[in-house]
Amino acid sequence: MPELSTGHLYNNIDYDRETITDKTLTESEFDDYGSTLVDGTDEVVYSNLETGLYGLKGTAYATQAALQDFDSISLIVKYSQTNGKIYYDERGAYNDDRNDSESSGSFYSDDESDGLEPVWADKVDSKGELFYLEAPHHNDPAPYLNNNNLAQSNNHLTESDKLKKKTGLDKLKNLIGKNKIEKGSADVLNNQIFNNIGPTGKPNNSVKDVLVYADPYREIRGVSLCEALFGIIPGQFVLRSSHPARPTPQLKILVQGLVPGGEAMRSGQIKIGDWLMYVNDLEVNWHNVDSILSAITSPKQVKLTLQKSSAVTTSTGERQGAQLGQGDNEMVKLVSGEQTEIATCSSPHQVMYLTLESNSETAKDQDDLMYVYPRQTDSKLVEIRGMFLTISHMLPDVTKKAAKNSTVMCNEELVHVGYAQEGKELLVIALPADRVDLYEMDQVIAITVRAMRVLYGSLSSAFGNKENSGRLDHYFCLLFHKLLTKSQQSSNQGNSSNQHSNSNHSNNVRMLELLPSVQFVPLAEELKVEVDNILSDFESADFVDMSDDYYDVRRLYSILGSSLYYKGCLVSSHLHSVDLEDVGIYLQCYSILDISSTNSMGQLVLWKEVFPTRRCHKQVDPLLPGYTEPEGRWFLLVVGLQNYVLATLLEAAGCAQICEGQPSPDPFFVDQARATLLQMLSSNVHSQCQARISNPAGPHTTSADQSFPCKTSKHESPRPKGSPRVAHTPRAPQTQIHHSPRGMPGSQSMPMLKKPSPLPERHKNIVRSMVFEDHSDPETQSTGSNMSTPTSHRKPSQTSDDSGGSGGSSGLFKSQKKQRKMAPYDVSGLKQSLDFADNSQNAKLTVGDCNLFHYLCLDWCDGVYICPGQTERGPNHKQLLRNFYVNATRIHNLFQHSINAHNGGSHDECLGGVTEQGVLFECTPDNWPANKKQPPVLQYWIIGRLFLEPQVREVYVCHQDGAAQNIVELAFKLGFGTCS
């Protein structure tokens, strides 16, 4: 009976270290019962346990070997418990009486450490709320499925666990350390410390000289001289010089790590994070270090001068893998709420919550100021807060409407101020006009008010309660970060061409961020069913003997529904659309979706009592007379893992127990949610989701860069090879994956549509741009792009409907009416359209350039939007997209009037009732050399269309001018697969 190696076990724990982290089994202890318990392979462990010792319910969600591993580990722990040992993790608590949480808590506490609680346990605040985010794993694309690096990670974990005990380091930073697996254990250790000293460290500028013995003959392979000679692993950082004489930042050397047993470590005086200033009194920087050190040719004492520096920030060098940029780190800090001050933005920005009712007699100066962020109360905007109060108070008298926004010139800068009044209280948000225009200002206000209502019930309960201020700081910090810092980045991005483009992903698109809806990725039918099943399993709350029902206890919460996000996109939702919007706003406002799409998260657990709009703020006519939604309390549980986020809305009361006090997150539900996510990760759903997102179904869009007319003929030859436009035209699939920061290895193996290559495939490409893939059959994905796809799954065309669209002579409105009649979600509609595209093939080829560049479909009924996924496109396309969103925002704004009018609101005299708007743009390529002749001109339309029936939907399409009318009609008609 071969013994299960400790390494292996530890490794498994490592896989699930978030759940079983801080397990404080020492190795010897573990060996003790590890040997009595198991016999080698995982399968045996599994079956042993299932048949014998415990009624394992692993089968419900253990579908793959990795998962079995995982579950058996939790059972091993339980087993040890039954043997009378104290080792315990929260999985062990499954079988405990649920109401006995105090007692199980005491179980935890009588252990030798706090390690057996869930890692997030100490983050739960007094109100029972939790916001816990662990930093991403980066070099572990699929840790749960990878069984190979056992020994290494074994070391890591033990080391880092010991370290944790010693230094009490944060888990967040701890995990960042995993980046450097190859460096050996001590290195990892160091790295963690290294990561800990940051901008937050205390300033200590003492300079010290250290003598080390450098031996150039001691050869160490493949490392820098610095490492070889001193045992210092160099890192680089940018010194922001305060010397006026030296304005340019310099790349300085930072002690990023110490080689175990190296000279530096032995000296004991060199600490990680020190700035290596001089070597033998020679000033060193990143560039000259090697030349200086190469001068040391014989073994001798070398004087190193170091400064304990804390003001420096690190710029992650290439050796860190370049995946985890400082920006990511900072983002994680911001999102996790660790840091609630953003890098000082010079532009004025302010949030205030003011009240009219202040006891003016006894009042102190700032009695009317209930909340303010940023905290400096001496800013100009805070000083003039009385003005905002007066304006919002007075305008209804003058105009009979509430004040919405105003513009002030403050410190030579134009500032937009948005208002939201609630009773006698007023929320004021001020943002600089050069970053946020008035359209966006209104959206910011709307979304903030909604978020506050959902999170706290009302504005006054949000801002009135001083306890909330921490959370509010967090919220507004992220909001400002999003609005001010990011827009700066994206504007820079436009200039520098070598940057990665995320710009057509929702991340950088302000319009989409400020919408209440989230991006939806329609999945293939089979996949969708599978995902839905996984979610349903979870939502049914039928955990058999782990569930409360089993013990005849009234359940704590009933699950109202859940929604699953992958990389910031909604994959599946079982929530009411209004609830989905609420959840989406929450995730959006706290940048959870952002984080989940750019980083893969270590672990995310959020728990918050919420006040869903549908239940608390909106009077909805009951569907059934006499039926009312149950009164109760609602809780939002968000669990994230890697790129997945699962948001669950829980209801207390109703059929569940009536909830009292401030319940903290229930580890059981958290684990079930995690298990659901793990199941997603392990099943084939994961890989297919990835494929879907990197290559979503739907019409193919082309890049604007390919569409400049000059390409076709005469201008082709004179263009010099080095011209910037040539540089980006070839886009092979490989480069795309390579460049994409989210490119996962798995996606390479997936069937990918061939990217259109610029010229030879032009015609095919034109046709392809309008082809829609059959959702019911994912296998056609690879062939779907080809017009020669057999027509076997196409129905015979239903000519009467088709002619309405294609004829066009009958006028637009007629065809629109027709569309309203037919169910837009009918799959036959899609098939029809395939047919239709086929029919129009000839016409299209003769018409020539009619390419679809981009589209956006907002479905207000489902609370989602659809747009093409992120693909690497040229700079001109990026600009086009920016323009697209800027203008779509305006059109969207106009449509709001029509929607209001449709819903029986006041009818705007002049621009009400608008159902379609189009703008024709003309653009010339970016960076067109000045000495060239006329730059080629591309004309394209941005068209928005509003459908009020059968459900409110907005579709925006961007296509090249000259597209045949029937093709454009078709684009709108399909709605881009908002099939739910």
Determine the 3-state secondary structure of 54 from DSSP.
Answer: coil
Measure Cα distances from 460 to 348, 427, 631 in Å: 25, 9, 22
Site for another protein contains 219 (CB under 8 A): no
Q: Which of residues 596-655 bind another protein (CB under 8 A)?
A: none
Nearer to another protein, 864 or 880 (CB): 880
Pairing relation of β-strands 282-283 and 274-279? antiparallel
Site for another protein contains 406 (CB under 8 A): yes
What is the closest distance, in whole angstroms, from the C-beta atom of residue 704 to another protein in the complex?
10
Nearer to another protein, 254 or 964 (CB): 964
Site for another protein contains 949 (CB under 8 A): no
d(CA 671, CA 74): 12
Q: Which of residues 754-813 bind another protein (CB under 8 A)?
A: 808-813
Site for another protein contains 491 (CB under 8 A): yes
Among 390, 489, 495, 533, binds another protein (CB under 8 A): 390
Q: Which of residues 950-969 bind another protein (CB under 8 A)?
A: 965, 968
What is the closest distance, in whole angstroms, from the C-beta atom of residue 912 to another protein in the complex?
7
Give me Rg for the CA atoms of the chain: 30
Q: Are 635 and 557 contacting, i.e. CB atoms less than 8 angstroms apart?
A: yes
Nearer to another protein, 90 or 969 (CB): 969
Site for another protein contains 394 (CB under 8 A): yes
Among 587, 880, 957, 974, binds another protein (CB under 8 A): 880
User: Which residues 6+ apart lie within 8 Å of 764 measured at CB?
Assistant: 756, 786, 787
Site for another protein contains 553 (CB under 8 A): no
Q: Which of 230, 290, 294, 296 is nearest to 265 (CA)?
A: 230
Site for another protein contains 890 (CB under 8 A): yes
d(CA 487, CA 509): 9
Q: Are 802 and 839 contacting, i.e. CB atoms less than 8 angstroms apart?
A: yes
Three-class secondary structure assignment of 859-891: ECCCCEEECCCCCCCCHHHHHHHHHHHHHHHHH
d(CA 645, CA 571): 10
Going residue by residue from 899 to 918, which x/- string records binding to another protein, judged by CB under 8 A? ---------xxxxxxxxxxx
Pairing relation of β-strands 644-652 and 232-239? unpaired
d(CA 613, CA 226): 60
d(CA 135, CA 53): 37
Peptide bond into 374 cis (omega under 30): yes
What is the closest distance, in whole angstroms, from the C-beta atom of residue 591 to another protein in the complex?
22
Stretch that binds another protein, among 65-73, 519-527, 786-794, 877-885 (CB under 8 A): 877-885
Q: Are 839 and 492 contacting, i.e. CB atoms less than 8 angstroms apart?
A: no
Which letter does DSSP use for residue 176 in this model? H
Roughly how many angstroms between the first and final C-alpha of the chain, as a whole number? 53
Nearer to another protein, 60 or 901 (CB): 901
Site for another protein contains 403 (CB under 8 A): yes
Q: Are 607 and 667 contacting, i.e. CB atoms less than 8 angstroms apart?
A: no
Going residue by residue from 49 to 88, which x/- string records binding to another protein, judged by CB under 8 A? ----------------------------------------
Site for another protein contains 926 (CB under 8 A): yes
Stretch that binds another protein, among 12-20, 58-66, 842-850, 890-898 (CB under 8 A): 890-898
Look-up of token digits 């989940």: 596
Nearer to another protein, 740 or 939 (CB): 939
Among 797, 879, 951, 980, binds another protein (CB under 8 A): 879
Nearer to another protein, 440 or 774 (CB): 440
Site for another protein contains 894 (CB under 8 A): yes
Site for another protein contains 893 (CB under 8 A): yes
d(CA 750, CA 731): 18
Measure Cα distances from 86 to 83, 119, 395, 563 in Å: 9, 18, 67, 37
- Bridge-partner residues for 808, per DSSP? none
Among 407, 540, 662, 684, binds another protein (CB under 8 A): 407
What is the closest distance, in whole angstroms, from the C-beta atom of residue 965 to another protein in the complex?
4
Nearer to another protein, 745 or 918 (CB): 918
Site for another protein contains 208 (CB under 8 A): no
Q: Which of residues 437-466 bind another protein (CB under 8 A)?
A: 437-439
Q: Which of residues 414-433 bind another protein (CB under 8 A)?
A: 414, 416, 433
Determine the 3-state secondary structure of 22 from DSSP.
Answer: coil
Site for another protein contains 493 (CB under 8 A): no
